[in-house]
Structure 1
Amino acid sequence: MKQMASEKAARILIVDDEPQIVRVLRASLGAQGYDVKTALDGQAALKLFEDWRPDLVVVDLVMPGIDGLEVCRRLRLVSQVPIIVLSVKGEERTKVEALDMGADDYVTKPFGIAELLARIRAALRRSNVAFPERNETLEVGDFRIDLGTRSVKVRDETVRLTPKEFDLLLYFVQNAGRVLTHRKLLGAIWGGEYTEQKEYLRVFVGNLRRKVEPDPDRPRYILTEPWVGYRFNPQGD
């Protein structure tokens, strides 16, 4: 959906060393009402980011010189701007590294413009969400979480969770729509010494699905990103 003329145009920085991709993305995003600037390498991208301060960055992972991983690392030192990485099939390890360094999402090449636009809209929505204080209530999609009493309702039905299940669900909700790697989830919920203990995550995600999903065998909320981690979809559509 094209942005309304009254809305402030979101600034998007496109970083890719393939001029043809840059031209297509600049034209496609510009046609949707976004304010777009481009860079053909990581060094130029970092300089442009400093001068322009975009609202979102789309960056290719494999580039000569400063690659997409290093761009993610440096941006996260100074900003929480949403980052979407572009990757080709077969780059699972690099993709996971980028997500662990702070990228919010990834799109695999070749991709459709409609898919990228949907990811951009979701990332911009997330960046504008202000979450409540710990004694308030968080409502996202089908989920209602009382942070003070640590109680949960899903589709208006009370769900009883263990403390760790609650912590895991809350982290999913606070990062709704983002791809969360196994390492990131383990580090956030169990601590840095557990980042290789994927069995913890499998057990707790399985338990959580049994409690919140209409059909745990066909999850609608806690979606698996193969070989990478999970993505939480609070609307369940």
Structure 2
Amino acid sequence: MVAHVLIAEDDRRQAEVLRRYLEAEGHQTTVVHDGRDALDQARRLRPHLLVLDVMMPGLDGLNVCRILRRESDVLVLMLTARADEDDMLRGLDLGADDYLTKPYSPRELVARVRTLLRRVDRLPSTIDGVRRVGALAVDPKRREVTVGDRPVVCTPGEFAILAAMAQQPERAFTRAQLLEHTRGVERDSTERAIDTHMVNLRRKIEPDVRRPAYLMTVYGVGYKLRDPDNG
């Protein structure tokens, strides 16, 4: 999939390297160097994917991601100089779809971009029609989720989880299996990352977060999507 990628990186040399690698891959790029420009251009241009550095002047990447997630499902690949796992999880909790810790290889970044775009591009062809589980409906062609008449705004990662689970209700998915649908990358922290996505989904779709009716924990395995109407 050829895409429009917005690069938000305050290191101008690094931003230029990323631009060249991504354009060599066939993508259209726009480059900005501070957080406020990143937010403005994301709203104006509506790119397919945002490569977002955490540490930027004006407005940091975490706040850019937080604001955009209220109004957009743009893919977000976050760049951070911090190796601490809690910082990575905070980015995922705000709606980032993947992350890279600096220093990184530009080739690895291009591979991550390719994986994210391929995952989104593949969803409509792998799931035919609207999937309904109780009052929950997942429409992969329109990329819409509803619970009854209420629309649910999901990040791309959250949508991928629901689309995969709605295709096979009552199946127990491991965290590693869900990761393939959400980010396509395995790392030591993957189980916690999937747990973070699941917490966010429960907040959005469950009538009572303390007593989930749809997204059930399968102890020792992972998660499954159940139909509450089936008891």
TM-score, normalised to structure 1's length?
Answer: 0.62
Specify the code of the residue in structure 1 equivalent to 2:92: L
Kindly report the root-mean-square deviation, in angstroms, between the aligned alpha carbons of the 2 structures.
Answer: 3.5
Q: 2:114 matched to 1:121?
A: yes
Aligned partner of 2:131 in structure 1 is 134
Q: 2:221 matched to 1:207?
A: yes
Any stretches of 5+ residues in structure 1 without a counterpart?
1-6, 139-144, 152-160, 195-199, 210-237
Is the alpha carbon distance of 1:166 and 1:26 closer, same or farther for their aligned partners in structure 2, counting shifts above 3 Å? closer
TM-score, normalised to structure 2's length?
Answer: 0.63
Specify the code of the residue in structure 1 equivalent to 2:221: N
Aligned partner of 1:47 in structure 2 is 40
CA distance in 1, matches of 2:20, 2:168: 49
Aligned partner of 1:175 in structure 2 is 182
CA distance in 2, matches of 1:36, 1:188: 31
- Kindly tell me the number of residue pairs found equivalent between the two proteins: 176
CA distance in 1, matches of 2:176, 2:9: 35
CA distance in 2, matches of 1:99, 1:126: 17
Aligned partner of 2:51 in structure 1 is 58
Aligned partner of 1:228 in structure 2 is none
Larger radius of gyration: 1
Shift of 1:65: 2.3
Q: 2:97 matched to 1:104?
A: yes
> Is the 8 Å Cα contact of residues 16 and 22 (structure 1) preserved in structure 2?
yes
CA distance in 2, matches of 1:176, 1:39: 25
CA distance in 1, matches of 2:105, 2:29: 18
Deviation string, structure 1 residues 51-109 (Cα, Å, up to 9, x no partner): 21111000011112210001111111111111000012434222211111110000111
Aligned partner of 2:197 among 168, 184, 197: 184
Secondary structure at 2:131 match in 1? coil
> Is the 8 Å Cα contact of residues 168 and 189 (structure 1) preserved in structure 2?
no
Is the alpha carbon distance of 1:35 and 1:147 closer, same or farther for their aligned partners in structure 2, counting shifts above 3 Å? closer
Specify the code of the residue in structure 2 equivalent to 1:127: V
Higher RCO (CA-CA < 8 Å; seq separation 6+): 2
Secondary structure at 1:107 match in 2? strand
> Is the 8 Å Cα contact of residues 10 and 55 (structure 1) preserved in structure 2?
yes
